[in-house]
Amino acid sequence: MIHFRLNLFLAIAAIAGCSACAAWQFTKGGYAPALLWLIGAFCAVLWLLHTVRIPVNALSSFLSSLEARDTTLRMPPSDDPQLTRMAGDMNRIAATYGRATHDLEVRKLYYDRILRVITHEIRNSIAPVIALSTEFADHPDRYGSSDTAEVMTMIRDQSRDIKRFLDSYYELTHLPRPEKAPVDVGELLLRVRRLAASHAKQMGFDPGEIALRATAGLAFEADSPLLERALTNLIRNAIEAVASAPDPKIAVTATRSGGYVVFRVADNGPGLPEVVAANLFQPFLTTKEGGSGIGLCISAQIARLHGGDIIHEPSASGTVFALSVKA
């Protein structure tokens, strides 16, 4: 597209000039020259239509692709600065629309998966309660006092399991917004180690052996209680991972990287199987007996509330999690 605005101006000028000359020839009685000028004006109109058609067709194709949810089409730049700016703006709109569509699909898949897990867990837990209560209500004469106590105990235990599961889901979906305040990273790590101490002792691991290392003077603004919770979850997982290791080691480091503070929790445990690593942050997925399966998911939510994220980093031995927060 060669200088759209120049072509547009020249075409309009040609139409006006040819029309004026044709009218002037008509007034003089020169019908043949007037006809030639009209032909020139008609050609100028065709030139104008061709000049306008190119960006209109490009815009029409672009909008049609968006309507069809095809966000891969991009408007090409031209040698006209104004059209190039317009193409850039439209391409940014397409990219934003593509990201929004992708995020919507990801969230739909996420919530569909959550709904399936919740439905599965509640159905499995409620089924024996319904069966026992129905049997007891229909045939009360079959049960003595000891049987009654046993049935009530089973119903109570199943009800507690259902409540525990629903409490976990409530906790996952009702994290508070961060209330940020200055945080000294060195002091934060010491508090986190103290919070994990009781769990470490239960697992037979000396909490003093959790090595802490932070960049000197490292500080930033964050919600300290939320961040302590996220890091404690990671350290508790590391403690459980090294429980059977012959020479258990856990290291927690904190460094600044770009505009982020990155916390790494590394252990020398057996590592994670591929099938587990692929679904680490799926809520309610756990390999631990009695585990809720929301610890890592909550840690990831807290990191995202702070403008960061959490990832499982490849490691030759053991497991490494990196939690980043915007500084």
- Per the model's pLDDT, the better-predicted residue between 279 and 226 turns out to be 226
Is residue 289 predicted with pLDDT exceeding 60?
Answer: no
Quick: pLDDT tens for 104-148: 776 676 677 767 767 777 787 788 888 878 887 887 777 777 777
The per-residue pLDDT for 33 is: 81
Main-chain dihedrals φ then ψ at residue 136, nearest 5 degrees? -65, -40
**Span 275-303, average pLDDT:** 69
Is residue 221 predicted with pLDDT exceeding 80?
Answer: yes
Residue 81, helix vs strand vs coil? helix
DSSP letter string over 126-149? HHHHHHHHHHHHH-GGG--HHHHH
The per-residue pLDDT for 227 is: 95
- Per the model's pLDDT, the better-predicted residue between 155 and 275 turns out to be 155
**Span 234-249, average pLDDT:** 88
The per-residue pLDDT for 315 is: 80
The per-residue pLDDT for 35 is: 84
- Per the model's pLDDT, the better-predicted residue between 291 and 180 turns out to be 180
* Token representation of residue 149: 């106590």
Percent of the chain with pLDDT over 90: 24
* Burial class of residue 6, CB neighbours in 10 A (0-12, 13-18, 19+): exposed
Is residue 214 predicted with pLDDT exceeding 90?
Answer: yes
Distance of CA 159 to the CA centre of its chain: 34
Quick: pLDDT tens for 249-269: 999 999 999 899 999 999 998
- Per the model's pLDDT, the better-predicted residue between 288 and 7 turns out to be 7
What does the angle CA 237 – CA 240 – CA 242 come to, to the nearest 5 degrees? Answer: 110
Q: Mean pLDDT in the chain?
A: 81
Q: Is the CB of residue 297 less than 8 Å from the CB of residue 172?
A: yes
Quick: pLDDT tens for 162-179: 887 777 777 777 788 899
* Burial class of residue 174, CB neighbours in 10 A (0-12, 13-18, 19+): exposed
Q: Is the CB of residue 232 less than 8 Å from the CB of residue 189?
A: no
Quick: pLDDT tens for 13-57: 888 888 888 888 788 877 788 888 888 888 878 877 777 776 776
